[in-house]
Structure 1
Amino acid sequence: MKTIGYKIVLGLFLATGVSSCALDEWNPSTVDVETAYKYKDGYESLINYCYDGMYYFYGKIDGIGAMEMGTDLWINVANSESGFTLYNSDMNPDLGTLRVFWRGMYATVNYCNTAIYYADQVEGYESEEAKNAKVAEAYFLRGWANWHLVEQFGGVSLTTLPLTETGAVNNPVRSSEQDFYDLIISDLKFATENLPTKSDGERGRVTKKAAYAMLAKAYLQRTRLGDVQENARLALETAEELIDNQSEYGIALYQSDAEKSGFAKLWDGTNNKNNTEFLFLEAIDAIDGRNPENWNRGRTRQYYLMDTRTTGAPWGTQESETWTGRSNSRSFKPTKYLLTEVFEPVADPADTRFKESFFMEHYNSKWEDVTISQAMVNQYGKNPNLVGHVIKNTAAGDETLVRGGLSTWRMGVTNMVDDNDDGWLDGLSILTPNWVMSAADKRDLPFWIVDPSDQFQVDGKWVQPGSNAMATYTREIYPSLKKFSSWEYILDRQQWLGDVPIIRLGEVYLIAAEAALLANGDANKARGYVNEIRKRAAVTSRQTEMEVAVGDVTLDFILAERGRELAGEQTRWYDLKRMGKLTDTYLQATNPDILFFDESKHTVRPIPQSFLDAIANPQEFGQNPNY
């Protein structure tokens, strides 16, 4: 199946007026803009380039910081993106990743405005319906980009004309958040009415399923601005269009069997490029690397990885082991709330979502066995009887990948046995459970165990160096997000070439559940949708354990359920904002490491100073309050 990625790369050349050998008959560098977009080939190159923006926000730090951090689920290890994670002084108008976000979203809006503006002049389509199906992609992506702009920055500049018509806008004016949502919803409704029901074979091109999902998301988010019941009713109605007509749209939740949960199947690499739950996605070309920035994709996993390079190395972890990723960033780690309250902190839960979302078991990948020494026993408080115990090498290499012909290796390929009958594989080097293990197990088992009692202080904050003898080490060892690490699409320690879901069907069920409660208090309907998601998170023999009663299904329960389902998928900051949880009280209760949250300003981001410096009316346009 083709991916849209390579067409975006081609669109970059065409939309910017650079000739391309791939289309010898079409060279827009020799014609004016009106002529370039008058014909189908040139116009469709412009549509392709409308997709470019998402490639810089999913799988990249610029989107992760803004969309997922500063919430109840994550905190930072190093200083990376501390403005987003801590709301400290680094959250200011000069923050570089914020500037990238602003410019990228407005670039998307401008490309879409251009496509929408010139749509009436385009020739070469066999029918008005065919042309509308194409321009509907621009309407969808403009709605998507404006949604991010208004949620991140509030009522900023709402533009509908391309710069080719207006020239540089030196005196921009602000629009209200309601005005933004009026346009967002109008755009997405046009997309639902005109996009095709199914793709023409190009993976990543938006269809009706994406439009309905984004429209439901927009209606639900708009409830924070008022008219709650009506917006929730519309969100529910829109979500149910997808839920009730799955075969029509070619979508389905993965179902559990006796061996594997549906949630595990969702993230299985063999399902990545043709996933029945992905409604709107960033499509990555894993064969030829024809993507924006070519092979430089999918770096999400490296930002969430524990320290396999130094702290874990005595036990056999290895930064060069490519499955987990490169540990040089170590930017984000889970909160105690995520590990022990959102997820159930027990050894054998019915819910598989923790073990399918995180690397919890790290195996020796050093290409040689690791022998436990007396020094290790002394430092880590292990049983002296373990001196001389061998942790078996589990790495296997020279596995030539299709992508670029690279040779690489990963843990967990060989020696995955339990010859000593202790209940654990003999190559296990580090275990990071989300439950507290007994002192005896931590002493006697032949691997390093770091659990929440080692990682967190009694106040719920992460341990600080010097707070105890091992704190310097245990603060660097934690469960690492693995949703974007399926082996089939590893390129090297950093790049992962799987498709990235932006909205998926599981979220639509949770949108419907939340909307049902807000629209008319229908807890029974909400329970039905929640239980569908929960049951598919367990193998079939344990699905009844996952069902919840009507009285359990509250808005707070749904927020926690969204954490279990969507952790790391760049939705959480928006969830907290919508549900009124971007407050100092809530964040102190769930993420006490956040010390600087200020409700008078931090529910939106600062306007980038580079923008204010470039316009003629910075005082009139104004910085967002209290920045």
Structure 2
Amino acid sequence: MKSSYKKLKIGLILTCSLVTFSCKKALEEYNPSTVTVDLAYNNKTGYEGLINACYTDMYFFYGKVDYIGPSEMGTDLWVSYSGQDSGLTNYDATLIPSYGTLKTIWGGWYSCINLCNTAIYYAPSVQGYATPADVNAKVAEAYFMRAWAYFGLVEQFGGVVLKTTPTSQAGIDITPVRSSETAFYDQIISDLQFACANLPMIQPLKGRIARKAAFAMLAKVCLQRTRLGDVQKYAAMALTAAKELIDNQAKYNCALYQSDATASGFAKVFDGKNNKNNTEFLWAQTIDLTGLNPDGFNRGRTRQYFLPDLTGKGVDWGTNGTGVLYGRANAKQYKPSNYLLTSIFEPNQNTPDTRFANTFTYKYYASAAKTITAAIATAYQKDPSVVGKTIPTSTAFYSGPDYFLAAGTTFEGEINTVNDAALSIFTPNWTIPVATKKTLPYMVADPSDLFDPATGNYKVASSFPNDVDYSGIFPALKKFSSKMYVYTNQDWMGDFPIIRLGEVYLIAAEAALLNNNDQFTAAQYVNVIRARAAITSRQSEMVVLPGQMTVRYILNERARELAGEHTRWYDLKRTGFLTKAYLQATNPTVAVNFDAAKHTVRPIPQSFLDAIVNAKDFGTNGY
């Protein structure tokens, strides 16, 4: 049996070299009474603790700022708020190997991988399970999580270090070698195939990976693999995996939400009442409401990074930048592009597609009563008829049964929202006639107010002296902000979908096109998703024809369905649209600095390069 000191030392050195945290103090605190790793993981109790640990790192990706930039920014959908996160959003000179969020995701994925490798290594010797099948069902969770981590690494950083043996067994590797991207995908697909064959259909504990998640991830990974060649082969594999779920939803205990006369199925996906037992979430980061999470109640901050300026101009109209409903606006970093608001989503008040209305907050209500003064009317070019009108407060003590917050908490949006009586700021994605806007007793900022028609970019106030300065006002992403799970003005305790059934339909559609240009099948899958985006009386308006099916059309449909769900950068990379020409046509601000020679991967973190002796073999991915 190997000594506990050797196990501890090797594990800590792994953390130094791949996860890149400080290790000196930890090594000095060696405890000779520590139980050996062999003894800890050869029994069922210890082994299941190890499997639990494989999930830990994912909690620092979803609902956190560190993964928003790498997964969504630098695309056609978003722009930087006042230069925030500009390296990933605008590809500027700050995107270098020391970029903080890249170190975070690199470290998180490699930490997860080493835990998974450890679990896979000890699976053959673990005692306490009734049958080998029971062991396989458990270790399949580690195979899945390893595939998840390697998928992120290879897409973000390219062919970096591929390891399948835990550092405690392989020893210290200070001269690692790169593996090819195809080798990464071979390992990822193999891991997911094992998970598909061995995971249980239903897990007894919420948040555990079940077989449906493995088929969904296999479909997603195989589709992404098509960018490296063998397109028909991997498209066919993606379609087969997707169809397994689509055709057997009852078997896998999943289902799309269906529309009715008053609510679309899409609206129901993000309805707080469905969040904790969502039939469409195939794999989700589940959040414990009592705080038993890796970072306690420090959860779900996504919403605050997409907020407009409710502390400045909003205050003129009665909003509050630290409200519970909207979040804490001083952390705002991102805003939607003109292309997303007015081309991806139909800029029409009467559209049958409910996805804009259920993806964005575009109505903000007053947190305190506000009387419109002559000065405000003049500043915002309002008609004198609005002077003296009062926007009533929408804030009241919560007293209903439907929210996570305890009764008695002050909450915006509780009263005076019927017929928009307390409406304070209105940011539709359609244009309203100027004469009409002047008479409305609240701030209105539509696309004609926000965007320069010549460039498509957000207006710069100094360049438009005759216009009202609406910089900082825009619709805010609201998918992960149902007030049912608001905990504080920062933290949201809802579950986060990582992959859901709606995406699987779109994977199947794209795979059908890539496999044999089957536009008929692609349209069938797309129309299911489009239909459930409308209420029942308008579903016929959402039908598209097979002849409309192209990869570009499905890319747009993915934006309508999945905006803000950590997919867009991967989507552009897979489909060949992560190019300067495409970005110039859709989101010119992002295109300015884009360089295809380096910006399809990220800089390898400097902390990793500093921990190895052959850094020259890795370089910096061109940065």
Smaller-chain TM-score bracket: over 0.9
Helix, strand or coil at the partner of 1:64: helix
Q: CA, structure 1 residues 28+124, in 2 after alignment: closer, same or farther (shift >3 Å)?
A: farther
Query: Residues 320-399 of structure 1: matches in 2 within 5 Å?
Result: 320-366=322-368, 369-397=369-397
**Are residue 547 (structure 1) and residue 543 (structure 2) matched?**
yes
Helix, strand or coil at the partner of 2:589: coil
One-letter amino acid matched to 1:391 = I
**Are residue 260 (structure 1) and residue 263 (structure 2) matched?**
yes
Q: Is the 8 Å Cα contact of residues 364 and 393 (structure 1) preserved in structure 2? A: yes
Q: Is the 8 Å Cα contact of residues 220 and 231 (structure 1) preserved in structure 2? A: yes
Residue 265 of structure 1 deviates from its aligned partner by 0.6
Helix, strand or coil at the partner of 1:503: strand
One-letter amino acid matched to 1:599 = A
Query: Alignment partner for residue 451 of structure 1, among 446, 459, 464?
Result: 446
Deviations 1:486-545 (A, max 9, x none): 111100111000000000000000000000000011100000000000000000000000
Q: CA, structure 1 residues 303+123, in 2 after alignment: closer, same or farther (shift >3 Å)?
A: same
Unaligned runs of 5+ in 1: 1-15, 17-26, 419-424
Moved more, 249-258 or 466-475: 466-475
Helix, strand or coil at the partner of 1:75: strand
Match of 2:431 in 1: 436
Deviations 1:342-379 (A, max 9, x none): 0000111100000001001111112xx21110001100
Distance, in Å, in 2 between the alignment partners of 1:560 and 1:308 is 30
Query: Residues 467-478 of structure 1: matches in 2 within 5 Å?
Result: 467-469=463-465, 473-478=469-474
Q: Alpha carbon RMSD of aligned pairs, Å?
A: 1.7
Helix, strand or coil at the partner of 2:106: helix
Deviations 1:260-285 (A, max 9, x none): 10001110000000000000110100
Distance, in Å, in 1 between the alignment partners of 2:466 and 2:486 is 33
Q: How many residues align?
A: 591
Deviations 1:91-112 (A, max 9, x none): 1100011100111100010000
Query: Alignment partner for residue 308 of structure 2, among 296, 306, 328?
Result: 306
Match of 1:72 in 2: 76
Query: Residues 611-622 of structure 1: matches in 2 within 5 Å?
Result: 611-622=608-619
One-letter amino acid matched to 1:413 = E
**Are residue 269 (structure 1) and residue 272 (structure 2) matched?**
yes
Q: CA, structure 1 residues 221+395, in 2 after alignment: closer, same or farther (shift >3 Å)?
A: same
Query: Residues 224-623 of structure 1: matches in 2 within 5 Å?
Result: 224-286=227-289, 288-366=290-368, 369-397=369-397, 408-418=409-419, 425-458=420-453, 459-469=455-465, 473-594=469-590, 595-623=592-620
Q: Is the 8 Å Cα contact of residues 462 and 593 (structure 1) preserved in structure 2? A: no
Query: Runs in 1 of length 4+ with deviation above 4 angstroms?
Result: 398-407
Q: CA, structure 1 residues 471+483, in 2 after alignment: closer, same or farther (shift >3 Å)?
A: farther
Q: Is the 8 Å Cα contact of residues 311 and 473 (structure 1) preserved in structure 2? A: no
Helix, strand or coil at the partner of 2:396: coil
Distance, in Å, in 2 between the alignment partners of 1:433 and 1:38 is 59
Helix, strand or coil at the partner of 1:466: helix
Query: Alignment partner for residue 215 of structure 1, among 190, 214, 218?
Result: 218
Distance, in Å, in 1 between the alignment partners of 2:138 and 2:468 is 55
Residue 623 of structure 1 deviates from its aligned partner by 2.4
Sequence identity (%) = 55
Query: Alignment partner for residue 189 of structure 2, among 163, 185, 191?
Result: 185
Deviations 1:39-91 (A, max 9, x none): 00101001001001111111111111101111000001123211110000111
Query: Alignment partner for residue 168 of structure 2, among 164, 167, 174?
Result: 164
**Are residue 142 (structure 1) and residue 146 (structure 2) matched?**
yes
One-letter amino acid matched to 2:448 = S
Residue 474 of structure 1 deviates from its aligned partner by 1.0
Q: CA, structure 1 residues 174+406, in 2 after alignment: closer, same or farther (shift >3 Å)?
A: farther
Q: CA, structure 1 residues 404+480, in 2 after alignment: closer, same or farther (shift >3 Å)?
A: closer
Match of 2:124 in 1: 120
Unaligned runs of 5+ in 2: 1-14, 16-30
Match of 2:206 in 1: 203
Distance, in Å, in 1 between the alignment partners of 2:111 and 2:399 is 40
Q: Is the 8 Å Cα contact of residues 312 and 430 (structure 1) preserved in structure 2? A: yes
Distance, in Å, in 2 between the alignment partners of 1:46 and 1:236 is 33
Match of 1:12 in 2: none
Q: Is the 8 Å Cα contact of residues 397 and 407 (structure 2) preserved in structure 1? A: no
Q: CA, structure 1 residues 31+153, in 2 after alignment: closer, same or farther (shift >3 Å)?
A: same
Distance, in Å, in 2 between the alignment partners of 1:556 and 1:39 is 51
Helix, strand or coil at the partner of 1:292: coil
Distance, in Å, in 1 between the alignment partners of 2:538 and 2:244 is 30
Helix, strand or coil at the partner of 1:257: coil
One-letter amino acid matched to 1:573 = W
Q: Is the 8 Å Cα contact of residues 408 and 492 (structure 1) preserved in structure 2? A: no
Distance, in Å, in 1 between the alignment partners of 2:596 and 2:128 is 53
One-letter amino acid matched to 2:518 = D
Helix, strand or coil at the partner of 1:229: helix
One-letter amino acid matched to 2:377 = V
Distance, in Å, in 2 between the alignment partners of 1:217 and 1:127 is 31
Q: Is the 8 Å Cα contact of residues 322 and 408 (structure 1) preserved in structure 2? A: no
Q: Is the 8 Å Cα contact of residues 304 and 330 (structure 1) preserved in structure 2? A: yes
TM-score where L is the length of structure 2:
0.93
Q: CA, structure 1 residues 505+171, in 2 after alignment: closer, same or farther (shift >3 Å)?
A: same
Q: Is the 8 Å Cα contact of residues 158 and 175 (structure 1) preserved in structure 2? A: yes
One-letter amino acid matched to 1:593 = T
Distance, in Å, in 2 between the alignment partners of 1:454 and 1:94 is 38
Distance, in Å, in 2 between the alignment partners of 1:400 and 1:349 is 32
Residue 403 of structure 1 deviates from its aligned partner by 6.3
**Are residue 83 (structure 1) and residue 84 (structure 2) matched?**
no
Query: Residues 30-69 of structure 1: matches in 2 within 5 Å?
Result: 30-69=34-73
Q: CA, structure 1 residues 384+295, in 2 after alignment: closer, same or farther (shift >3 Å)?
A: same
Distance, in Å, in 1 between the alignment partners of 2:214 and 2:500 is 12
Residue 411 of structure 1 deviates from its aligned partner by 2.5
Residue 400 of structure 1 deviates from its aligned partner by 9.4
Distance, in Å, in 2 between the alignment partners of 1:471 and 1:440 is 14
Helix, strand or coil at the partner of 2:251: helix
Residue 621 of structure 1 deviates from its aligned partner by 3.0
Helix, strand or coil at the partner of 1:506: helix
Distance, in Å, in 1 between the alignment partners of 2:79 and 2:149 is 26
